[in-house]
Chain A
Amino acid sequence: KDKSAASKDGTPEGASKRQEDGTETPKQQLLDIIGDMKVEVSYRKKLEQLKGRERKKQALKKLEGLDDESYVPQGTTEDTQRHKPLNPELVKAASAVASSLPRNKKETESELLAQLRRHEETTDKQKKGGTINIRNVISEMTVKRQTPAQRGARISSHISLQLDEDGQRTRPERSSAQSVASTRSLKVGKRLNIFTKASGEPEHALKTVSSPTIWDLEFAKEVAAVTAQPPRNGFEEMIQWTKEGILWEFPIDNEVGMEDDGEFHEHIFLDKHLEGFPKEGPIRHFMELVICGLSKNPYLTVKQKVEHIEWFQKYFEEKKELLQEI
């Protein structure tokens, strides 16, 4: 990665030497050319560089043999019309790489050349001591290849909702770009179509997941934890305690938490449940005692009392033959 800044004049000579050398494969030529390129300072440029190198390396891996170096692409004329004429060696190398790729040759060609152009632009500016205008660079970037990655990153960032430590990596980049953009007017410049398409998809992806997601809940909890200030005085402390449930609510309600499962008459007058029993005899006597006891019991619910009586009913029905003998 970190290579010394070599002069541009050195590269064509070196490249020409290597091209004359028949034993050296064009693959190695390309690698040399890439290796001699100047060092970019900012992180963003490094990213772009890495991307370009990765693409080129991928192309090189698929390389079997170069077809024609003499293939003059249509892009060169455009390049020459732009800022500076590109190094012809680099152009040839780019065309060779592009021609070897299975995909759309012209597209890759143009992209590679655009990358080269950008490198040269930035190195010129660094030479002159000019500031790097990110806006221009972004505007020149092609949209097709990058939006899937951006979309993926955005979806993942939406779902993960990174804050603080993680956010410091992703957020300031965007904020710096936005701050730069705010100095210029919004209507000027060609449309990038980043936000119109891409913003639609993450929302769809979110809606497929059940709302609220776990991450939303976690986010809400974090926000609540951060915004919760310690109580400034005794009143706020008491409010907090009341919310937690430590302190009762005043005026005191004696029946807080007590559910009214049945009226008093349901608790006391349990005679109607005694219909299944014989009207006379010891069993009836016994059951009336049971009912008397249950009616005085404040701890059981009506349902539990009814269950008790029903159990006795079942029990005595099972024992009916036994009772007949007696």
Chain B
Amino acid sequence: PCPRQVRSYYVDWRMLRDVKRRKMAYEYADERLRINAIRKNSILPRELQEVADKEIAALPRDSCPARIRNRCVITSRPRGVKRRWRLSRIVFRHFADHAQMSGVQRAMW
């Protein structure tokens, strides 16, 4: 009954890993924020900041937001992804040409 392709799995394992990293980053976001607030400080003593350094390094690696890669949602392409649509350039062109992107038109001037 659905006109589009039904995707019940992630496109590939890299996409799955990216999803896991995003979830972990969400969980540890608050803690990272607070520890970083202690670290990036000129008021608190340096020893405290060093302790905070060690603590943040001890957190799981996947909780770091820097490890998240904005992949294409449809094809899981890591490069050429426009942030507004979360699509890779190829998929974006495909949809835009088939008039499936609202408000997107071929440029001509």
Contact = CB atoms under 8 A, between A and B. Distances in A.
Contacts of A325: 47
Interface of A is mostly: helix
Interface in A307-322: 307-308, 311-312, 315, 319, 322
B44 A286 contact: yes
A322 B43 contact: no
B48 to A, nearest CB: 7
Nearest to B35: A315
Given A286-B43, A308-B30, A322 B37 contact: no
Contact of B34 (A282, A289, A312, A322): A312
A323 B43 contact: no
Contacts of A286: 38, 41, 43-44
Which size class do B's interface residues fall under?
A: 10 to 19
A283 B44 contact: yes
A283 B43 CA distance: 8
B34 A311 contact: yes
Contacts of B41: 286
A28 to B, nearest CB: 57
Contact of A322 (B30, B38, B51): B51
Interface in B36-68: 37-38, 41, 43-45, 47-48, 51
A311 B37 CA distance: 12
Contacts of A308: 30, 34
A39 to B, nearest CB: 46
Interface string A276-307: 00000011011001100000000000000001
Given A282-B44, A308-B30, A326-B45, A290 B51 contact: no
B26 to A, nearest CB: 14
B108 to A, nearest CB: 32
Interface string A111-125: 000000000000000
B33 to A, nearest CB: 8
B29 to A, nearest CB: 11
A282 B43 contact: yes
Contacts of A312: 34
Contacts of A323: 45, 48
Contacts of B38: 286, 315
Contacts of A282: 43-45
B43 A285 contact: yes
Nearest to A325: B47
A283 B34 CA distance: 14
Given A285-B43, A286-B43, A319 B34 contact: no
Contacts of A289: 43
Interface in A10-49: none
B50 to A, nearest CB: 10
A324 to B, nearest CB: 11
Contacts of B34: 308, 311-312, 315
B37 A326 contact: no
Contacts of B43: 282, 285-286, 289
B31 to A, nearest CB: 8
Contacts of A326: 45, 47-48
17 contacts: A282-B43, A282-B45, A283-B44, A286-B38, A290-B37, A308-B30, A308-B34, A311-B34, A312-B34, A315-B34, A315-B38, A319-B48, A319-B51, A322-B47, A322-B51, A323-B45, A326-B47
Given A315-B38, A322-B51, A326-B45, 17 more contacts: A282-B45, A283-B44, A285-B43, A286-B38, A286-B43, A286-B44, A289-B43, A290-B37, A308-B30, A308-B34, A312-B34, A315-B34, A319-B48, A323-B45, A323-B48, A325-B47, A326-B48
Q: Which 3 A-B pairs have the closest CB atoms?
A: A282-B43, A286-B43, A285-B43
